Amino acid sequence: MSRDHAVHEPNTVLEWRSSSRRAALIAGLLFIVADVAGFAGDALLRSFSGPDYLTQLYAHGGLAAAGVLAKVIGALACAGIAVAMYQVLKRASAGMALGSVVFRTLEAAFYLIGAMSLLALLKLSGQFAVAGVADRASLQAIGDALLSLRTYAASLLGVFAFCVGGFLYNLLFFRARLLPRWLSGFGMIATLALTAACLLSLFSGNRITSYIPLAFPIFVQELVLAGWLITKGFDTSAIAAEPVVRGVDLPHAAVPSVAADAS
């Protein structure tokens, strides 16, 4: 191995550790943004769930629009979490890292569908307010269909996609020891509990919020995870042992030969 190459390799390791620290910070902040925006959106939209929701939406359109905006911000943050962590996670398993990105992007897409259905309901509420008695029944039926779309897209399919994506990156955290195993193990158990809540909601017809004991653990785990990523970052000592030469990841089998060349 040449002297220039020997000097270059430690620099790439330092660059890798710096980029992984930056990825952890961004992901941790996005976890917080996603949770805060999601809860804010739920709080703003909670009053629009009664039988007279179209009338309430028309009367408080600004409040509903703010709730939709919060939901959109939360959805984009959800997708950004997996994207931010991808460069780190792919060192452990590129396939599983990509899977986490795909499913958390699907989650965001379902949340956005739910948000768009709310915007359609806002438009519909204006028509409902000025419609005659004969037209209100058909407008109410359209509104009920849009509300069902939001319930199944955002509250069920979106959460299920989150469960798959979240389980994948927590499994990678556990296998690669990027985080303490108690934290990543707790994350896997919590996502399985939330998956059970999704299945119960699907077959019972109840809202997923009816199963708070199954959903609460992942909320706690994400808060702890966000704090850990922001304050401590990833432990990349295991996967950082794979040197990067000219920007190309070396396979595990290549590490001994490089080490032998350096001796």
Residue boundaries of the structural domains of the chain: 3-262
Tell me which residue of 17, 18, 35 sits closest to 225, measured CA to CA. Answer: 35
HSE at residue 147, side-chain half, CA atoms within 13 A, is 20
The CA distance from 188 to 89, in Å, is 16
Query: What's the average model confidence in pLDDT over 98-104?
Result: 96
Query: What's the average model confidence in pLDDT over 3-24?
Result: 70
User: In this predicted model, which residue has the larger pLDDT, 40 or 11?
Assistant: 40
- pLDDT over 90 at 196, yes or no: yes
What's residue 250's pLDDT? 36
- pLDDT over 70 at 25, yes or no: yes
- pLDDT over 80 at 175, yes or no: yes
- Contacts of residue 205, Cβ cutoff 8 Å, sequence gap at least 6: none
CB count in 10 Å sphere of residue 217: 17
User: In this predicted model, which residue has the larger pLDDT, 211 or 249?
Assistant: 211
User: DSSP string covering 35-58, please?
Assistant: HHHHHHHHHHHGGG-STTHHHHHH
* pLDDT tens digit sequence for 198-212: 999 888 878 777 888
